[in-house]
Amino acid sequence: MSAFPHTVRAKLAKSLKYPFVGEDMDFSGAVLNGGSSTRMGVDKAEISFKNKRLIDISLEALAGARANEIFIVGGASRVAEDSLNILYCQDMFPGEGPLGGIISALSVAEYDVLVTLPCDHLYVTSQVVEQCLAALTIHEMACPLLEDTKQVLCSAWRKSGLKKLKEIFDSGTRSVMDAVSLLDVVTFQVSNPEILRTANTIDELWQ
């Protein structure tokens, strides 16, 4: 069983409507695990990478940033059951892509801010999570850039944007990139692009 330091902190009264990251920033964390992993050939979440499951890297990043709750969205429920203090969230729209997973996560999140990470990050850290939170401020969504491309699955979301995302989804949109083009989004650069690298094939794990 994988263990993660996950201390649920008491809610604090906040004088700021949009608090910056810090001891008083309550947020939910979700790892998106609803993909079919067809290019990987096996369930990528459970692949062993550097003596841990691949999904553990994202789970540890959220725990390190002191998420108040952490859950895995979609995929096999056993992945969450094999993790200490990690919840499972059923994907409300299985097979419809990560936008449905994000909507599912926002629908069950207890806190007003949600940080999502994909399950196939190789080197993501709590610092990236904290940067997403710090950048969010008054915006609906915040995410890092990699070669000028929004990394929309590694992002912070406001629960107040859930209604708009549902409307976008119901209109037929399935691309997260297309959906966020209709939101108030802020982006930021990371100091080391390598920390945003993901893996879709076995070979990419060891590049």
What band does 42 get if pLDDT is binned at 50, 70 and 90? low
For the chain, what are the domain ranges?
28-199
Mean pLDDT is lowest, of 22-26, 32-36, 116-120, 201-205, for 22-26
**DSSP of 3-65:** ----PPPPP---SSSSPPSSTT---EEEEE-----TTTSS-GGG-B-SSSBHHHHHHHHHHHT
Structure tokens at 156: 């912070």
Is the pLDDT at 195 greater than 90? The verdict is: yes
What band does 205 get if pLDDT is binned at 50, 70 and 90? low
Give the pLDDT confidence score for residue 64 in this predicted structure: 96
Give the pLDDT confidence score for residue 16 in this predicted structure: 29
Q: What percent of the chain has pLDDT over 70?
A: 82
Give the mean model confidence (pLDDT) for residues 123-144.
96
Q: What is the pLDDT of residues 152-190, one digit of tens each?
A: 999 999 999 999 999 999 999 999 999 999 999 999 999
Residue partners of 149: CB distance under 8 A and separation at least 6: none
Q: Which residues pair with 118 in a beta bridge?
A: 32
Mean pLDDT is lowest, of 6-20, 54-68, 105-119, for 6-20
What band does 45 get if pLDDT is binned at 50, 70 and 90? confident
Is the pLDDT at 148 greater than 60? The verdict is: yes
Are 122 and 49 a contacting pair, CB within 8 Å?
Answer: yes
Is the pLDDT at 128 greater than 80? The verdict is: yes
Selected residue with higher pLDDT from 26 and 1? 26
In this structure, the number of other CB atoms found within 10 A of the CB of residue 3 comes to 11
Give the pLDDT confidence score for residue 13 in this predicted structure: 23
Domain 28-199 fold is Spore Coat Polysaccharide Biosynthesis Protein SpsA; Chain A (3.90.550)
Q: What is the pLDDT of residues 21-41, one digit of tens each?
A: 444 689 999 999 986 554 555
What band does 102 get if pLDDT is binned at 50, 70 and 90? very high
